[in-house]
Amino acid sequence: MSGESSHHPLLPNLDAAIVAEMLSALGAKSVDELFSDIPQEVRLKRKLKVPDAATEYSVRRDIQERLSANRTPPGSLCFLGGGVWPHYVPAAVESIMSRQEFYTSYTPYQAEISQGMLQALFEYQSLMCDLLGMQACNSSLYDWASAAGEAVRMAARVTGRKRALIAGNVGPQRQRVIKTYAEPAGIELATVGFDTKSGKVDESDLRARMSDDVACLYFENPNYFGIIEDDADEVASTVHASGGLAIAGVDPISLSLIKGPGAYGADIAVGEGQPLGIPMNYGGPHLGVFAVKDMALARSMPGRLIGMTTTIHEPNDRAFAMVLQAREQHIRREAATSNVCTNQSLMAVGAASYLSLLGKEGMRRLGETVVSNSHYAAGRLSRVRGVRYPLFTGAFFKEFTVSYDEANAQAVFERLARSGVLGGYPLDGRFGLGDRCASFCVTEVHTRADIERLAAALQEAVDGA
């Protein structure tokens, strides 16, 4: 023992008498003796250079004081999107996700004592399948980007092909992560251009690039510009015509009004489950959605799956268990479909509770509010001097892009932030649209007054930039 302290709330056996009793029971003279098998050369013979222990109160106060420097809602307004979106988290979802029975448990390896988590995850799978129009959904991956990376790898595995196409209007975060996931599998990536007028996938470029060695196309709907890919049917058909898989990345909130990927022929659907009751959390934890169109593909998919079964004995009660585990790393090791182990189960429970709270009617109304608010805001921003809207002609759902006549998008973005409005994220140079384009996201959390405040702040920012 360090001997520096006694009594710590997290350490019930930190007491000389208890330690002595335990040591004597196992025949050791000192705690140090228990570490005597560590060679002296590698023993750390000094104290770690981290701060000394602090009490709960001090730690809480210090962290809270430092966090209070963050500029976030409700003090600031957030009109940022790009794969993490500001949506309202219902109080009941927070309450359910705060149940220690859920959050202090682990993977339900012992099914009989973990039925709650198993059933909740099964319900998540069912709800997501319906929303997406797919046949099988796993119980979560880390986030949208890594799910997209896994999807491209799976497509290469299933088709035996080593080329993958990525739509050029896919979010930069996903583009980067897909690259990291695909490259070590020997998958060669190519970009399908987008139509600079509509903002949608350029179908003639897609046709030109499709061939019978292409494993898949990954595209997003709505895409990074917020535009709805209303030719998704044709896009998927073109990919299928050459024997490739169509992978769609989606925002689940948009599926309140927009057809699910299953309805336009996607073979794999991925997405970000964060807007389903998960806070933005400065990047995570979020919820990687991963679903496939049929049971044959389900057997090749990554991640944990929960199935419905019964008890062995009479009266054969309904029960739930992990299934198809032979795909997973703890059984299959180097031949597994993925290395994923720890996932985002708690977030999946949150999403399941969110979808059951809003339900059929709530989701419809939510979609209507979101699409109305975003269009209202776009109209309002189009009247800001020096702002040009629309940048693209395609229909949009909750995100839209604008260009500035003269102002630099990065400068506007920073000026807006200084006035307490987070939004107008500059479009990445990779889109080839110059440095005067920016994206805004508007959802149900934004009031008319918020939109007015955004418009006024944007006017000032554009004038001053």
Q: Which of residues 407-436 bind other proteins (CB under 8 A)?
A: 413-414, 417, 422, 425
Name the strand (E) or helix (H) holding 250.
Answer: strand 245-250
Residue numbers 227-256 binding other proteins by CB under 8 A: 228, 230, 232-233, 255-256
CA quadruple 342, 348, 350, 355: dihedral, nearest 10: 180
Pick the closer one to other proteins by CB: 243 or 389. 389
Tokens representing 119 are 């059933």
Longest dimension (CA), the chain: 81
Residue numbers 270-289 binding other proteins by CB under 8 A: 272, 279-286
Among 211, 212, 294, 364, binds other proteins (CB under 8 A): 364
Pairing assessment for the beta strands 288-292 and 268-272 based on DSSP bridges: antiparallel
The rounded distance, in Å, linking the Cα atoms of 123 and 139 is 10
Told to check if 99 binds other proteins by CB under 8 A, we report: yes
Told to check if 120 binds other proteins by CB under 8 A, we report: yes
DSSP class of residue 262?
Answer: G
Among 162, 193, 242, 257, binds other proteins (CB under 8 A): 257
Told to check if 344 binds other proteins by CB under 8 A, we report: yes
The rounded distance, in Å, linking the Cα atoms of 115 and 365 is 33
Told to check if 397 binds other proteins by CB under 8 A, we report: yes
Cβ-contact 406, 390 below 8 angstroms:
no
Pick the closer one to other proteins by CB: 134 or 239. 134
Pick the closer one to other proteins by CB: 241 or 295. 295
Among 196, 204, 211, 447, binds other proteins (CB under 8 A): 447
Tokens representing 237 are 């058909």
The rounded distance, in Å, linking the Cα atoms of 157 and 215 is 9
Told to check if 225 binds other proteins by CB under 8 A, we report: no
Residue numbers 136-155 binding other proteins by CB under 8 A: 136-137, 139-140, 142-146, 149, 153
Sign (positive/negative) of CA torsion 217, 218, 221, 223?
negative
Told to check if 179 binds other proteins by CB under 8 A, we report: yes
Told to check if 389 binds other proteins by CB under 8 A, we report: no
Told to check if 357 binds other proteins by CB under 8 A, we report: yes
Contact mark string toward other proteins, 287..326, x via CB under 8 A? --------x--x-----xxxxxxxxxx--xxxxxxxxx--
Amino acid at 144: W
Give the interface segment with other proteins, choosing from 161-169, 211-219, 369-377, 429-437 (CB under 8 A).
Answer: 369-377
Told to check if 333 binds other proteins by CB under 8 A, we report: yes
Cβ-contact 290, 153 below 8 angstroms:
no
User: Is the bond into 39 cis (omega within 30 degrees of 0)?
Assistant: no
Closest distance between other proteins and the C-beta of residue 253, in Å? Answer: 10
Tokens representing 386 are 């020096």
Among 7, 39, 160, 385, binds other proteins (CB under 8 A): 39
Pick the closer one to other proteins by CB: 232 or 455. 232
Told to check if 23 binds other proteins by CB under 8 A, we report: yes
Size of the chain in residues: 465
| DSSP 3-state of 141 | strand
Pick the closer one to other proteins by CB: 243 or 362. 362
- Give Cα separations from 122 to 128, 276, 344 (angstroms): 10, 16, 14
Among 16, 22, 190, 456, binds other proteins (CB under 8 A): 22
Pick the closer one to other proteins by CB: 72 or 242. 72
Pick the closer one to other proteins by CB: 108 or 168. 108
The rounded distance, in Å, linking the Cα atoms of 224 and 172 is 8
Among 16, 190, 208, 341, binds other proteins (CB under 8 A): 341
Give the interface segment with other proteins, choosing from 161-169, 211-219, 239-247, 373-381 (CB under 8 A).
Answer: 373-381
Name the strand (E) or helix (H) holding 189.
Answer: strand 188-192
Closest distance between other proteins and the C-beta of residue 16, in Å? Answer: 12
Tokens representing 383 are 């009247």
- Nearest in space to 8 (alpha carbons), one of 48, 42, 43, 53: 53
The rounded distance, in Å, linking the Cα atoms of 333 and 326 is 9
Among 197, 332, 383, 430, binds other proteins (CB under 8 A): 332
